[in-house]
Structure 1
Amino acid sequence: EIKLGKVAVDAGIVELTQAQAVEALSALDILEGSGIGLVDACRLVKRMQESGIGDIAEIEHAFKLGAAQIRHEKKSPSWSEAAWEMVRVKEKITRRRERTLQQIRYMIRRMEKRCPDFCVRPIGGITGEECRAAFGRAFDSPIQQDKARVVFSGVWTLAMKRGWALSNPTRMLDALKTQEREIRALTPEEVERLLLACRPPLPDDSSQLDLTSVQPAVAILVFAGIRPEELMRLTWEDVSFEDGVITVRAAASKTGGARHVTICEALRAWLSLVPEKERKGAIIPEYWRSRWEAVRSREGWGKKKPWPKDVLRHTFASYHAKTYADFGKLQMEMGHRSAELLRNRYTNMAGLTGEMAKQFWKLKPSLGNQI
């Protein structure tokens, strides 16, 4: 009414009523010094009503929320600063493993390289849709993008604790539907050849290393499904022949929880090849990585025939599931948090028969395989 009245007055047609004039003067008095005109203030209120915020109480509440958000944005650090602070906390306070920290650092640097504009934004003002768009630009596959959602949720968790953000926008994002890549289990014949490759060198071997000391570690990877990084922290003191279990201590476990892994008859037979007096200290031998690579090379694994990542863990899980069909037990053995993810990622029954599973669990050393 004030706007129309002003136009009408300029045209010399009508004048404001006394009540309208008083209200207009009061409004102008309130806005004095704000740098905001009366018409702009009216337009702002109108836009809020058009967005579904109706009465004055709702409008006041919306202004309070908006003001709080703006204050957080002004005092909050950039996304990059918050992300690196999260790394510092994980390294110095929660003491996450170096391999985990390396993965997080890599992901942050990838974000900074591919989404520089996003990374300099105040973390308190970033929305869920902006997160989804940035993760999509920084990471190529849906699996990587979903991992970014999970990992970087921790950045906002820290930001909320520090008062840098009011909410965590990544929690509003749905998990992306992903297709796990299919990894076949090794055949019993391939497993046996791999174990028997842990031996002294033959004249025609490309590597003249004596690899017999690698055999116990390979047997544990095959018949216990223990993660390679967990294996590197195992000692012979963690192996109990009496109780029939290998203890993966919390300090050695990837997930941070201790667990017992069953020593099956085949694994017991291979581990028993090590003389009792030598069962001390680390399971893996000195120069483990190069020796393990040499074992695989003896069986033709290399550049022309790449070694599938985690294939021995996949092999154990597949034969265990085929034999026992007990995913709950398998989940406990492998130390996996999700039975569903375990079923999708680690078990592949394609081409795997019951007879093959029987052969797998019967793979034991012959008298000529003594270490």
Structure 2
Amino acid sequence: MKITIKPLKGHPGYKFRASFSQGGKYLQKYFKTKQEAKNFADAKAVELENVGIAERGVSPSEFRALLSAREIEKQLRASHVTEEFSFERAVEFYAAHLRSTKSSVTVKHAAEQFLFSQERKKRSKRHLQNLGYRLAAFELVYGKRIISTITKDDVENYLAGIKGTGRTQINHRAVLSNLFNFAVGKSWMAVNTTASVEITPDKNTPPGILTNAELAAFLVAAEPRIVPVYAIAFFAGLREAELARLDWKDIKLKRGIIDLSAKATKSAQRRIVTISPNLKAWLKPYVQASGPLRPSDQIFRNSRKTACLVAGIKDWPHNAARHTFASCHLAAYENAAKTALELGHKGTDVLFDHYREIVARKDAIAYFKIMPPKTPTNIIRMEVAA
């Protein structure tokens, strides 16, 4: 609304006049000083603007929001952030956000439903325990939040607070990604906010492995009920979850292979693993026609602790058996593709990034010649499986 200020000539009491239109009428106001006229013009301009906005059904707060949006748009364009911002799009985006929030659920509820869905799919006990542990940790931080409001920054801050290596954070992120994919499928959130979260693995930190002397001492000190499991773990490189599912009928000693079914492997694909001559020697006294190789978790852990104590092993590296096997197999055979195949990897990247420690070739060759004592004790001989 335009207000015109003009000086007056010959008026006995006033020197300036403000002219404006209001309500269809032409009005004038007189002032003694120019500053008084200007102050009035500024105030009247705001008043007239608000009246004009109100007449169009727009409240003052809505008008201020529009002006603010225009300023934001100007700044974004000037800094070359985007050319697509507009007041209309901002309103639509926020409306969609509100609708998503209202139709969403808490992180706690989503986690419970996701875990239940995995139970219905009859996932392994170990897999469910892993999910439950990692989901419970996330719930402690964000359990009461609506899952659709969890941002990339929230996920990054959470992962940054987890103690451990980059691999530990990657494992947590994988569980969260599965949870969020489940939530997207339920229309509880629009996108999986973990998809763009990047974590740098600790490539410069070598994996922990046992020396030949430590492994030999451990296997000799171990109780008979865990010797076959650890012999396979160290000399065939099976994952812990695969060992938990392994049955004696999968051990084809005469053929020199371990036949892992699709249900037993991480990739859900059948895998044939080579039984080395020294592994065959470790297994032969214990072999059975069928039945699980691995005892219960508690017995397995306690037996390992006892064997480590007897063998003088103070620290048991994380994933020690698989790391040791991969490192020694690569050094002994000098064939990354062959080692990756035995491990069940599709390529060699994971092998070099996470499983390889530098081992001298002579030590690696000696590793696959570690043999059991000539007269093992407490062994019950069974018929050898085909």
Q: TM-score, normalised by structure 2?
A: 0.74
> Rg: which structure is higher?
2
Q: 2:242 aligns with which of 220, 224, 230?
A: 230
Tell me which amino acid in the other structure corresponds to 2:277.
E
Which residues of structure 2 form unaligned runs of 5+?
6-15, 25-44, 380-386
Residue 229 of structure 1 aligns with an amino acid whose one-letter code is A
Q: Which segment drifts farther, 75-84 or 321-330? A: 75-84
Q: How does 1:118-129 map to 2 (within 5 A)?
A: 118-129=142-153
The answer to whether the aligner puts 1:154 opposite 2:181 as a matched pair is no
1:89–1:6 CA distance, 2 compared to 1 (3 A): farther
1:128 to partner: Cα distance:
1.6
Letter in 1 for 2:349: E
Is contact 1:28–1:38 with CA below 8 Å preserved after alignment? no
For 1:77-156, list aligned pairs within 5 A: 77-92=105-120, 94-113=121-140, 115=141, 118-137=142-161, 139-141=162-164, 143=166, 144-156=168-180
2:292 equivalent in structure 1: 282
Correspondence 1:293-308 to 2 at 5 A: 293-301=305-313, 305-308=314-317
Question: Could you report, residue by residue, the CA deviation over 1:178-205 in whole angstroms, capped at 9, with x for unpaired residues?
Answer: 356434433333333333335xxxxxxx
Deviation at 1:72, TM superposition (A): 0.7
* Greater helix proportion: 1
Quote the Cα distance in structure 1 between the aligned partners of 2:329 and 2:188.
48
SS at match of 2:362: helix
Amino acid paired to 1:282: P
In structure 2, what is the equivalent of residue 43 of structure 1?
A: 68
Q: Would you tell me which structure has more strand in proportion to its own residues? A: 2
What is the Cα deviation at residue 362 of structure 1?
2.0
Q: 8 Å contact 1:91–1:101 — kept in the other structure?
A: yes
Q: In the alignment, what sits opposite 1:204?
A: none
SS at match of 1:130: helix
Q: CA deviation at 1:343?
A: 1.8
Q: Deviations over 1:252-290 (max 9, x none)?
A: 224433311101111122222346xx4332224685444
State the match for 2:54 in structure 1: 28
Return the match for 1:359 from 349, 366, 380.
366
1:346 aligns with 2:346: no
User: Is the deviation greater in 331-340 or in 35-44?
Assistant: 35-44
How many angstroms does 1:240 deviate by?
1.3
Kindly report which structure 2 residues correspond to 1:254-293, keeping only aligned pairs within 5 A, or say none. Answer: 254-274=266-286, 278-284=288-294, 287-293=299-305
Aligned to 2:325: 316
Counterpart in the other structure of 1:329: 338
For 2:258 and 2:182, locate their aligned partners in 1 and report how far apart those are by CA, in whole Å.
Answer: 36
Q: Distance in 2 between matches of 1:310 and 1:229?
A: 11
Instruction: Tell me how far apart the structure 1 counterparts of residues 110 and 4 of structure 2 sit (CA, whole Å).
Output: 52
Aligned counterparts of 1:177 and 1:187: Cα–Cα separation in 2: 25
Give, in angstroms, the shift of residue 164 of structure 1: 2.0
Query: Cα 1:182–1:261, aligned 2, differ >3 Å: closer, same or farther?
Result: same
Aligned residues: 339
| 2:20 counterpart of 1:15 | yes
Name the Cα RMSD after superposition: 3.5
1:180, 1:345 within 8 Å by CA — same for their partners in 2? Answer: no
2:189 to 155, 165, 179: 165
- Counterpart residue type for residue 246 of structure 2: L
Query: Aligned partners of 1:155 and 1:191: how far apart in 2?
Result: 39
Tell me how far apart the structure 2 counterparts of residues 166 and 130 of structure 1 sit (CA, whole Å).
Answer: 16
CA shift, 1:238, in A, is 0.2
Q: What code does the residue aligned with 2:369 have?
A: K
- Over 3 Å counting, the alpha-carbon distance change for 1:140 and 1:212 in structure 2 is closer
Q: Is the 8 A contact 2:216 2:370 kept in 1?
A: yes
Three-state SS of the structure 2 residue aligned to 1:85 is helix
Contact 1:185 1:311 (8 Å CA) reproduced: yes
Q: 1:88 to 1:262 in 2, by over 3 A?
A: same
Q: Structure 1 length normalisation: TM-score? A: 0.76
Out of 180-189 and 244-253, give the one that drifted further. 180-189
Partners of 2:68 and 2:103 lie apart in 1 by 29
- 1:197 aligned to 2:221? yes
**Structure 2 Cα separation of the partners of residues 335 and 134 of structure 1:** 31
Among all aligned residue pairs of Structure 1 and Structure 2, give the percentage whose two residues are the same amino acid: 25
Q: Aligned partners of 2:70 and 2:266: how far apart in 1?
A: 54
Aligned AA for 1:150?
A
> Following the alignment from structure 2 to structure 1, what is the Cα–Cα distance between the partners of residues 157 and 375?
60
